[in-house]
Amino acid sequence: MLCIGTGVPVTKIPHQKRLFHKVRSRSSESQRRRSSIEMDPAIKPAAIAAPRPLVLTSRPSGRVNALLSLVSLRALRSLLLLLNGFILLLLLPFRRRTVVVSAAEGEEAEGVRGARKGAGRRGGAMVVRVPTGMVPRRPRDFQEGEAEARRAMAIRRMRVEKEEEEEDGRRSERACELFATARGDTLFTQSWAPVSVQTKGLVVLLHGLNEHSGRYNYFAKQLNDNGFKVYAMDWIGHGGSDGLHGYVHSLDYAVDDLKAFLEKVLSENPGLPCFCFGHSTGAAIVLKAVLDPKVEVHVEGVVLTSPAIGVQPSHPIVAVVAPIFSVLIPRYQFSASYRSGPPVSRDPEALRTKYSDPLVFTGSVRVRTGHEILRISSYLQQNLSKVTVPFLVLHGTADTVTDPEGSQRLYDEASSTNKSIKLYECFLHDLLFEPERDDIAKDIIDWLCSRLDDLNRAQK
pLDDT in tens, the chain (460 residues): 444 444 444 444 444 444 444 444 444 554 544 444 444 444 444 444 444 443 333 333 333 343 334 445 565 566 666 666 666 566 555 544 444 344 444 444 444 444 444 444 444 444 444 444 333 444 556 677 899 999 999 999 999 999 888 877 778 999 999 999 999 999 999 999 999 899 999 999 999 999 999 999 999 999 999 999 999 999 999 999 999 999 999 999 999 999 999 999 999 999 999 999 999 999 999 999 999 999 999 999 999 999 999 886 655 666 667 777 777 778 877 654 445 568 999 999 999 999 999 999 998 888 899 889 999 999 999 999 999 999 999 999 999 999 999 999 999 999 999 999 999 999 999 999 999 999 999 999 999 999 999 999 988 7
Contact between 195 and 162 (Cβ < 8 Å): no
Q: Are residues 143 and 55 part of one domain?
A: no
Residue 448 belongs to some domain of the structure: yes
Contact between 251 and 209 (Cβ < 8 Å): no
What pairing do the DSSP bridges indicate for beta strands 172-180 and 391-396? unpaired
> Any idea what the CATH number is for the domain that residue 181 is in?
3.40.50.1820
Domain tally, the chain:
2
Of the candidates 12, 41, 60, which is a domain's last residue?
60
pLDDT confidence of residue 142: 63
Q: Are residues 420 and 272 part of one domain?
A: yes
Chain segment 310-349, per-residue pLDDT in tens: 886 655 666 667 777 777 778 877 654 445 568 999 999 9
Chain segment 430-455, per-residue pLDDT in tens: 999 999 999 999 999 999 999 999 99
Q: Are residues 153 and 293 part of one domain?
A: yes
pLDDT confidence of residue 84: 66
Residues 6+ apart with CB under 8 A from 426: 396, 397, 398
**CA count, 13 A, side-chain hemisphere, 178:** 13
Q: Are residues 172 and 39 part of one domain?
A: no
CA-to-CA separations, 345 to 218, 332, 341, 355, 401, in angstroms, rounded: 16, 27, 12, 12, 11
**CA nearest to 359, candidates 146, 69, 178, 134:** 146
Residue 421 belongs to some domain of the structure: yes
Domain holding 41, by residue range, is 1-60
Residue 165 belongs to some domain of the structure: yes
SS (H, E, C) the chain: CECCCCCCECCCCCHHHHCCCCCCCHHHHHHHHHHHHHHCCCCCHHHHCCCCCCCECCCCCCCECHHHHHCCHHHHHHHHHHHHHHHHHHCHHHCCCEEEEEHHHHHHHHHCHHHHHHHHHCCCCEEEEECHHHCCCCHHHHHHHHHHHHHHHHHHHHHHHHHHHHHHCCCEEEEEEEEECCCCCEEEEEEEEECCCCCCEEEEEECCCCCCHHHHHHHHHHHHHCCEEEEEECCCCCCCCCCCCCCCCCHHHHHHHHHHHHHHHHHHCCCCCEEEEEECHHHHHHHHHHCCHHHHCCCCEEEEECCCCCCCCCCHHHHHHHHHHHHHCCCCECCCCCCCCCCCCCCHHHHHHHHCCCCCCCCCCEHHHHHHHHHHHHHHHHCHHHCCCCEEEEEECCCCCCCHHHHHHHHHHCCCCCEEEEEECCCCCCHHHCCCHHHHHHHHHHHHHHHHHHHHHHHC
Residue 192 belongs to some domain of the structure: yes
Q: Are residues 316 and 427 part of one domain?
A: yes
What pairing do the DSSP bridges indicate for beta strands 172-180 and 126-130? unpaired
Q: Are residues 155 and 55 part of one domain?
A: no
pLDDT confidence of residue 53: 42
pLDDT confidence of residue 144: 78
Residue 189 belongs to some domain of the structure: yes
Residue 76 belongs to some domain of the structure: no
Q: Are residues 157 and 18 part of one domain?
A: no
Contact between 272 and 200 (Cβ < 8 Å): yes
Q: How many CB atoms lie within 10 A of CB 238?
A: 30
Q: Are residues 360 and 259 part of one domain?
A: yes
Residue 415 belongs to some domain of the structure: yes
Residue 449 belongs to some domain of the structure: yes
Alpha-carbon gap, residue 151 to 359, rounded angstroms: 9
